[in-house]
């Protein structure tokens, strides 16, 4: 899909945005780095990034989720990526499902390890979410663990450190033409 409409990236913070704060000796926030990452990843223009809040998702409450949902519903653009902490990402995505405009595609992503650390999954997840936002039908999705999930059919498996489908129909599929495609259930591919 080629569009001149900007992609919108909204940051809520989460582990992905955390850095080591020498003053406290802990991980925390000083500013959002989403614009820097989009440039580093060479995400094609047009896009715009906005910081809505910088908090750990365990600190998110219903007021925060409603603020996020209202912000998305008031956004004129139709393709939105939300940077969010993984612990309550599913809960926030479900609230957004009930408030977004019907023509909007909203993709949540984050990271299990902060982007500031070498072993982070942040940039892979950001790229996955960006592609999903551009290619998916209107709806609310979560892009984590190499898959695209419908927001109401996913959970974070803390024991395995991954997101996984809760739907019984999440079996892998491919289109038989040797192409990579994104479905509502997951990213699938068949390579010859």
Per-residue model confidence (pLDDT) at position 179: 39
**What is the model's pLDDT at position 50?**
95
Examine residue 148 and state whether it is found in any structural domain, yes or no: yes
For residue 157, list its beta bridge partners. Answer: 162
Find the range with the poorest average confidence among 25-34, 121-130, 131-140, 151-160: 25-34
Confirm whether 49 is domain-assigned: yes
pLDDT at residue 85 greater than cutoff 50: yes
Is residue 9 predicted with pLDDT exceeding 60? Answer: yes
Identify the pLDDT of residue 119.
Answer: 92
pLDDT of residue 71: 97
Number of neighbouring beta carbons within 10 Å of residue 171: 10
In the chain, % of residues over pLDDT 70: 85
Tokens 């999954």 belong to which residue? 121
pLDDT category, 110, cuts 50, 70, 90? Answer: very high
Neighbouring C-alpha atoms within 13 Å toward the C-beta of 50: 12
Bridge partners of 140? 106
31 lies in some domain = yes
Residue pair 128/101 in contact (Cβ under 8 Å)? The answer is no
How long is the chain? 192
Assign residue 148 the CATH number of its domain. 3.40.50.1170
**pLDDT at residue number 19:** 86
Answer yes or no: is 25 within a domain: yes
Assess contact for 8 and 48: CB atoms under 8 A.
yes
Closest C-alpha among 172, 174, 180, 107 to residue 138: 107
Residue 126: predicted pLDDT: 95
Domain around 108: 7-188
Q: How many alpha carbons lie under 13 Å from residue 165 in its C-beta half-sphere? A: 15
Q: At what angle do helices 62-73 and 89-99 cross, to 10 degrees?
A: 40
Please report which residue ranges of the chain form alpha helices under DSSP H.
Answer: 34-40, 62-73, 89-99, 122-135
Domain count, the chain: 1
Residue 162 has what pLDDT? 93
Cα–Cα distance measured from residue 180 to residue 188, given in angstroms and rounded to the nearest whole number: 6
Percent of the chain with pLDDT over 90: 67
Determine the average pLDDT of the residues in 76-96. Answer: 96
Per-residue confidence (pLDDT) for residue 1, from 0 to 100 = 46
**pLDDT attached to residue 167:** 83
Gap between the Cα atoms of 147 and 155, Å rounded: 12
Q: Does residue 36 sit within a domain? A: yes
- Could you tell me if residue 40 is inside a domain? yes
Residue 79 placed within a domain: yes
Query: Has residue 1 been placed in a domain?
Result: no
- Model confidence pLDDT, tens digit, residues 134-192: 999 999 999 999 999 999 999 999 999 999 999 875 444 444 444 344 444 444 443 33
Integer Cα distance of 192 and 150 in angstroms: 28
Please state, in angstroms and rounded to a whole number, the distance separating the CA atoms of residues 110 and 25: 23
């Amino acid at each position: 899909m080629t569009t001149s409409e900007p992609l919108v990236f909204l940051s809520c913070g989460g582990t992905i945005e955390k850095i080591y704060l020498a003053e406290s000796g802990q991980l925390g926030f000083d500013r959002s780095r989403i614009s820097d990452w989009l440039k580093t990843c060479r995400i094609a223009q047009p896009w715009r990034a906005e910081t809505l809040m910088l908090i750990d998702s365990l600190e998110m409450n219903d007021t925060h989720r409603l603020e996020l949902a209202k912000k998305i519903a008031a956004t004129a653009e139709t393709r939105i990526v939300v940077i969010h902490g993984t612990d309550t990402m599913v809960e926030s995505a479900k609230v957004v499902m009930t408030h977004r405009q019907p023509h909007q595609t909203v993709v949540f992503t984050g990271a299990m390890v902060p982007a500031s650390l070498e072993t982070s999954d942040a940039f892979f997840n950001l790229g996955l979410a960006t592609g999903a936002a551009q290619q998916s039908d209107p709806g609310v999705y979560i892009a984590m663990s190499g898959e695209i999930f419908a927001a109401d059919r996913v959970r974070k498996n803390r024991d395995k450190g991954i997101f996984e489908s809760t739907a019984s129909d999440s079996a892998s599929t491919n289109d038989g033409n040797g192409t990579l495609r994104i479905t509502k259930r997951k990213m699938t591919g068949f390579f010859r």
